[in-house]
Structure 1
Amino acid sequence: MSVADPRKMSTTTKVFDDKDVTRFVVPVGSDLHSRSATKFGHAEISGYINSFLHRCGFVHAGRSDFAEMESECLAISIAREYVIPEDNSFRRFIPTGVAIAWNAYHHLPDKQTQKYIALLTSLFIYAEDMFKDNNDAILAFHGLFIRRQPQKHRMLDHLANMLLDLPSHFPPTSAVNIMISASLNFITAVGLENGSVVFSPPASASRYPAYARMMSGVSEVYAFFIFTPNIPLDVYLPALPDMMTHICYANDILSFYKEELAGEEENLVYTLARCRGVHPSVALQEVIDDAVAAHRRVLETLMPHKAAFDCYVQFAQGYTGFHIASKRYRLDELQG
């Protein structure tokens, strides 16, 4: 859906330009945010995604040759009783976790770390998807985790154990503390989302949508895992804020199609649109602009350090490839 031509707007609509994007403010009583008014078509979403990929220099390709790793992760899941005869619901989350590890972290030399990333991601997605009717278990996670007490659901026990094992897969630096804090923030965000707390901020709270998105993105974990252990933390730590933005916003862009198909509006794009009184297409373009700008700043920050730069470049293309390769995001449907 394209932004309306400002020359054809009525005098009740105020137009202004910001970052070369024309925005329009919704008049009082407008039904602009109804589903009929905001529904995006296949071609429009494909255009936005292709623009994002082109501006970042990414190729629309992903690797799906990860059957061996998927089998290994399933075997680990059975051995650890993530998957049990009476409950194999976790099994369907494994392919997505494997897809991100295989595509975005294929450059890591330690295959055990790749499998850790795959299973941790699968547990994150499980927590996000499977507790909408059991939010009490999510809200209790932190207190039980800190006291080392059993969680209110066996899969949350497994997630807690994975977080406790994080120092085994990453050098014991301040980064580990940030990663664990980010993981706990993610659980907090899941609890907020389950309660629909974060999706209707007032116009005066214009920074809240981005704040809530960073909290839910667990992007610090994925950012720190990009780099091989031989690269000093102080080389890439300054790029962390921009890596967080790119990781979160790239996911918002590349998952937007599946969310449109499901009629979901509890996401960054629609939250920004409601908060700022702009059309969702304007909010989506803003997310793309911010993701591209953050990616370019990361490249500039890391450019003097070849090893770190190369790791990030491989990750960034692979992270895009993960979304393309994963059936969860259904992006193959846009290639027809």
Structure 2
Amino acid sequence: MNDTQGENKTTESLSFTAKSSLQRMVHELLGKCDVTLDKLSFDQDLYDECKKIMASEYHLPSPRYPWFEKYLSVGVVIAFTSYAHLPRHHRVQIAVHTSFATALDDIFSHHHQRMESFNESFLKGVSQDDLILDGLAKALLNTSKYYSPIQSNLIVTSTLDFMTSLIMEVKIKKMESFDSPSFAAYYRDMSGVSIAFAMFIFPKGIDPATYIQCTPQIGMYINYMNDVLSFYKEEVAGEEENLVSMLAKESSITKYEAIQRIADDVAEAEKDISTRLAGNKLALDGWQSFKRGYVRFHTSSPRYKLDELFELPYGLTVKETEGGVEDL
């Protein structure tokens, strides 16, 4: 993930040519995926509801923990953009889960010793002795209220893999070379929590058999689209601990060649997903809503700085219905 690092860096280090190349690549990718480049206004009502839940159920009142608000905002943005097709209580759960994961991703380097025991403590069902770690553990235990057993299991294991990836990141920073052809993709799969976010897409009522074969491609779309849309922010911040840099080192190519390969993989994954889900309208509609909303998550979040690359008009808002939402 690593999306919170380098937010205060300047944007002067990227040349006009590099910006133009990146703009063209993103436009081409979104065209292939049938996704519009726009953004949504912040859902303050959802944020306020989540803030109350954080105080009452997770013991994180905003006045005592103001630093957590930026992570809650990230969770809320991904919930109202990427999961707009889901009922509100699902979106609250997703916002809570995401906010804890994002916070841990950001603060791990300062608290890694305590986090290293998270998986063991979670499996034993004992306290983490930390509000954020206990919060994530509780969010994982609540997953079965909203998703099927298969989905819940995958959400939990994906999140545990993410926690392990944070420990691995400390070691990766000390590695001078990357000579394993598949390591970059393997590590990205662990660190991206993509399988959890893929399972969030589909309500419990949809038979997993209709979409489970798409899980690897959906995970690829989630991880790699994030890599493409995070590339600008990470380049101007000088970040190197990411898939693009690792892939470039592994393959002895430039980072711009690496990001183009990643973009091509995203387009192929989206095509395959839409084809496979064509026989189930509910599953396909959920996917189509998510794939567009996931791009909106990046364009609607100041952290990705995409307004420095593109003109971003405001897209359609959403109207709540009994079963979920629909475009106005």
Structure 1 pair 241–199 and aligned structure 2 pair: CA distance change class (3 A) = farther
Match of 2:222 in 1: 247
Correspondence 1:145 to 2:122: yes
Count of residue pairs the alignment pairs up: 298
Kindly provide the CA deviation profile for residues 234-285 of structure 1, in whole angstroms up to 9, marking residues without a partner as x.
Answer: 0000111110111110011111111112111111000100111111111111
The change in CA–CA distance for 1:55 and 1:224 in structure 2 (over 3 A counts) is same
Checking the alignment, whether the CA contact within 8 Å between 2:146 and 2:204 is kept in structure 1 is no
* 2:170 aligned partner: 194
The amino acid of 2:308's aligned partner reads E
Matched, 1:135 2:86: no
1:123 aligned partner: 100
| Alpha-carbon distance in structure 1 between the residues aligned to 2:177 and 2:208 | 36
- CA shift, 1:201, in A, is 5.1
- CA RMSD in angstroms comes to 2.0
How far the C-alpha of 1:153 sits from its partner, in A, is 2.5
Query: Structure 1 residues 86, 66: CA separation in 2 closer, same or farther (over 3 Å shift)?
Result: closer
Separation (CA, whole Å) in 2 of partners of 1:96 and 1:40 = 31
1:232 and 2:207 are equivalent in the alignment: yes
C-alpha separation between the residues in 1 aligned to 2:238 and 2:271? Answer: 32
- Compute the TM-score of the two structures, normalised by the length of structure 1: 0.84
Query: For 2:80, which of 79, 84, 102 is the aligned residue?
Result: 102
- Asked if the contact 1:38/1:279 (under 8 Å) is kept, the reply is no
Residue from 33, 45, 48 that aligns with 1:56:
33
Contact map agreement 1:220 1:240 (CA 8 A) in 2: yes
1:257 to 196, 220, 232: 232
Partners in 1 of 2:174 and 2:207 — Cα distance? 36
Instruction: State the TM-score, normalizing by the size of structure 2.
Output: 0.86
Question: For residue 282 of structure 1, what is the amino acid of its counterpart?
Answer: E
Percent identity, aligned pairs only? 31
CA–CA distance in 1 between the matches of 2:110 and 2:266? 33
Q: Deviations over 1:98-131 (max 9, x none)?
A: 11110111111x2111011011111110010012
Q: 1:185 Cα deviation (Å)?
A: 0.2
Cα-to-partner distance string for 1:296-328 (whole Å, 9 max, x where unaligned):
110111111122111101110011111111112
Aligned-partner Cα distance in 2 for 1:297–1:328: 30
Structure with the bigger RCO (C-alpha within 8 Å, sep 6+) is 2
After superposing on structure 2, the runs of 4+ consecutive aligned residues of structure 1 that deviate more than 6 Å are 36-40
Q: 2:15 and 2:240 mapped to 1: Cα distance? A: 10
Secondary structure in 1 matching 2:195: helix
Instruction: Select the residue among 277, 285, 308 that pairs with 1:333.
Output: 308
Give the 5 Å matches for 1:145-224. 145-171=122-148, 173-196=149-172, 202-203=178-179, 205-224=180-199
User: 1:312 aligns to what?
Assistant: 287
Contact 1:39 1:260 in 2 (8 A): no
Query: What is the alpha-carbon distance in structure 2 between the residues aligned to residue 214 and residue 199 of structure 1?
Result: 19
Deviation at 1:169, TM superposition (A): 1.6
Partner of 2:8: none
CA contact (8 A) 1:38 1:280 kept: no
Is it true that 1:267 corresponds to 2:245 in the alignment? no
Unaligned runs of 5+ in 2: 1-12, 312-328
Which one has a bigger Cα radius of gyration? Answer: 1
Deviation, structure 1 residue 145: 1.0
